[in-house]
Structures are given as structure tokens and as C-alpha cells.
Structure 1
Amino acid sequence: MRTVTTVAAQAMTKVRHGEFIESTTDVSVQTQQDQARETGKVINQLFRQMRSIRTAWRQAWPDKKAYMESKATWLQAFIENGICTQEQIDIGLMRCRAEPSDFIPSVGKFIQGCVPTPEMLSPPLPSVEVAYKQALRNCHPTMHGVAKWFHPAVYHATAAAGFNSLPLLSRELGLISFEKRYMEQVRKVWRGEQLGPVPVAELAGPAPERTPDVGNQALAALRAMRSRGTARA
């Protein structure tokens, strides 16, 4: 049985030679095979599109050898980071088209651009700014046990940033720290991963019951206290 590493390595060899990834591997590694095949296809198409978007592409790919080696590097990075669908690539391309640059981005920068913003998800998550404001508010000790959270992603990002340390950072550093962790949660949601729920101890308790009987009882108690006070006088 071939390992995932072997499948990925063979996929990269095919892409290095400009080939698509064929579905010929063992059924036991079907998932990895499908990912490598689809990723190989989108890489080939991506590089063709990048040449039309970034006119200075020859700076990164001066010859065929550099072009093929770059494909292999990008394929490996895409597999490692779970970038394997045309939808993901389209988001990255959309951002490339919007950037005022003629040069090919690094694979790491392109991968970052393949992740949608929280607002682009369905249903949408709060923006980084809105989530950060809630995180700071809920970090206050008085909010323990009464805080409300927009989404578990906001809670987990806040917990990772540190309930005690996040409020101590400047806005600039705090936002950077929170955004990094929040986007990690956004990626998980986007990939369909299940986030752990917000711990019960961190959730706001149920609102106290308010009925006419409760109000009447409170009013009667106040009247009784007032009557006792008048009698003593």
C-alpha cells in the first residue's frame, strides 16, 4: 500500500512534467488520490491564468525549468494547506486581479488569499473588527458566565489569544494576535470542520423569569417593609 507521501510525491513529479494527475492509485488512498488529481488540474489552469493577470510573470518563471519547478512547489504547498478546489483558487485569483502588482506572488501569499473573509462564508461570520470588539468586551472579568458570543469561532479565537493577555496588548498588536487566531477558526468553518461548542461556564445564564406573579410578590414585599417602617415610627 502506498502512503500519502508517496502519492503526493508522484503527483508533484507529474506536474513537474506538465501532466495532469490521473486517477490510477489504490482505492485505499482514494481521498488523497482525488486531492492530488484535482490539485494538479487547478495548478495547471492557475499558472495559465496567472500569466495573463501578472504581466511580469517572467521574473518568477524565466524558463520552462523554473516554471515546472514552481508548479511542483505550489502543488506541495496547496496539498499541505488543503487548497484543492476551483472555488478556493477563484478566491485567490479574484484578490490577485484586485492587487496593483505585475509580479507573481509567493505561494504563501496566494494561499492566504484563497481563504475567504468571515463575511464571505454562508452563513456569514462577523468581521475581524466586530469579532475583536466582542472578544475584548468578553475578556473583562465581569463578563465571565454572562458573556454572549456571536459564534464559537469568536470564542475559540479569544481563548487562543488569551483572555488575560489580549486586553493588555495595544490595539494594533491585539488585533494582529486575534486576527491570526480568528482566521484559523474561519478556515475550519470554511472546510466544514466542527468547532467545539462554547463551554457552558462561559455562556450567559438564562434570564430570570418575569411574570405578573413575580412582580406582585415583589411589590407586596416592598409594601410590607414600608408598613413595618411606618409602625415603628
Structure 2
Amino acid sequence: MNNPKPVAALVANLNPENMPSLQVAQPVKVDANTKQVINDLFDRLKGLYPAWKQAWPTDVELRAAKLEWLAEFMRAGIRQLEQIQHGVRMAAKDRSAFAPSPGVFVSWCFAPEAFGLPDAERAYKQALRNTHPSQTGHCTWAHPAVYHASVAAGWYSLQRLDQSLGFKRFEQKYLEQCQKLGRGEVLSPSPVAALPEHAGPRTPEVGRAALAMLRKTVAGGK
């Protein structure tokens, strides 16, 4: 008997063209390779979630769930092995005993960390700082995704909403930017902070001249 292959290795062979759509009313045909991928993925999920039978109590429901997950992967535009790997890693960190919905798992695949970006909390803190009026023209952004999420969330709203509501709004827009990256879209660059004006040479002569000018101004005002 062959040793089972790791889920990550099998996911590399996921072919979107072979993923069935649940909207098709015809009998669904899944090629052997894709079937192996999804079966191994679900075996891994069963190992991570002791209460998985709450979601898939019968074989019929389990088979239907596998088709639903395949269709959700296709709809979400998941194309990279790293995304699936990250979803599995996030599942391994999940403390729930109950299996996630396909939508939740897909959101894990698009989590910012999968693209080397700051997590949502750190990105939100930067958004709050950079959207303050005092930072206009002087802020730097960790990644264009953080900037575009801030714009989409609304700079005014981020500054005035309660932080729990503001974070929820920002997180949604941030995830949308991550989904664009996952689909291979290129985000336009974020603005570059203006460089400070050159103050000129600093020498004792310059300092004495400035002091003399200040004294002259003060004396003239008396």
C-alpha cells in the first residue's frame, strides 16, 4: 500500500478546470486526482476538529460538503498552493472543536499573512495613524493593500467610528485587497511620504545671523 501523500503536496495538483460548480444541474464528475486532493484535505480537517460530525453527520452530507468546498475554491479564485497551505495552518491554530464553513476556510486562505502582509490588527493601527490629519503627506504605508483598504473604509470613518466598528469595517476592506492579490491583481502603489525640506547648512555664522535677525525684529516691535 502506498503511503498517503501530504495534503499540501496534493493541493498543488488542484486544477480549477476540474472543479465542479454546484450550479450545474447535471451529475457532477470529479477526476481521480481532484477527488484525492479533497478527500485528503477532509481527512486532515477531521483530525483537527473532533466534532466534525456535527457538520457532516452522514456520508451523503460529507460527499455534498466536499463538492461545496471544491466549488467555493473555484468561486473564490484560489489558485496558489501557498494559499491552501496557509488555510490548513490557520485551521491547525483554530481552538474550535467544530469544523469551519467553506467560507471561513477560504478567508483563512486569503489571510494577510499568506502574502507576507501585517495581520489585520497591525494594519488597522497603521491605518488609524496614517489617516489622522496631522499625518497628511508625511505617512508611509507597509503595503499598498493597507493604503487601499484605508481608502475603501473611509479616512473620515476610521477616525470617528468606535474602534470595534472601525476595525470590523477596515478588516473587511483589507480582506478584499488580499483577495485581489490572491487572484494575481496588481495594486497601484500607495503615496510616498514627502521628504522634509532641506534646512540648509548649520554653522555658527548661520546661527548668529538668525539670532541677530530675531533681536532686530523684537527691537523693532517695541
TM-score, with length taken from structure 2: 0.72
Aligned residue pairs, count: 203
How far residue 126 of structure 1 moved from its aligned partner, in angstroms, is 2.9
The Cα shift of 1:209 comes to 1.4
Aligned to 1:27: none
After superposition, the Cα gap between the structure-2 partners of 1:49 and 1:211, relative to the gap in structure 1 and judged at 3 Å, is same
2:198 is matched with which residue? 209
Q: 1:165 pairs with 149, 157, 160, which one? A: 157
Q: How far apart, in 2, do the equivalents of 1:56 and 1:69 lie?
A: 18
Task: Tell me how large the CA RMSD over aligned residues is.
Answer: 3.4
Given that residues 77 and 182 in structure 2 are in contact (C-alpha distance below 8 angstroms), is that contact kept between their aligned partners in structure 1?
no
Question: Closer, same or farther in 2 for the Cα pair 1:198/1:107, shift >3 Å?
Answer: same
The 3 A distance-change label for structure 1 pair 229 and 156 is closer
CA distance in 1, matches of 2:198, 2:143: 26
Which structure is higher in RCO with an 8 Å CA cutoff and minimum separation 6?
A: 2
Could you tell me which residue of structure 1 aligns to residue 126 of structure 2? 134
**1:81 Cα offset (Å):** 0.9
* CA distances 1:90-114 after superposition (whole Å, capped 9, x unpaired): 3222333333344322111221222
Measured at CA, do residues 180 and 44 of structure 1 come closer, stay the same or move farther in structure 2, by a change above 3 Å?
A: same
Q: Deviations over 1:166-188 (max 9, x none)?
A: 21110111111112212322344
Structure with a larger share of its residues in helix: 1
Deviation string for 1:105-145 (max 9, x for gaps)? 21112212223443x544xx333233222222222233322
What corresponds to 1:82 in structure 2? 77
| Cα distance in structure 2, aligned partners of 1:157 and 1:167 | 14
Identity of aligned residues (%): 38
Assess if the C-alpha contact under 8 Å between 2:20 and 2:67 holds in 1: no
In structure 1, what residue type is equivalent to 2:187? L
Unpaired runs of at least 5, structure 1:
22-36
* Deviations 1:15-53 (CA, angstroms, capped at 9, x unpaired): 3xxx425xxxxxxxxxxxxxxx5xx55323212222333
- 1:226 partner letter: R
8 Å contact from structure 1 (residues 42, 84) kept in 2: no
Q: In the TM superposition, what is the alpha-carbon distance from 1:80 to its structure 2 partner?
A: 0.8
CA contact (8 A) 1:42 1:85 kept: no
Kindly tell me: are residues 215 and 183 of structure 1, through their superposed partners in 2, closer, same or farther at Cα, counting changes over 3 Å? farther
Decide whether the 8 Å contact of 1:14 with 1:20 is kept in 2: no
Does the 8 Å contact 1:42/1:86 carry over to 2? Answer: no
1:70 counterpart residue number: 65
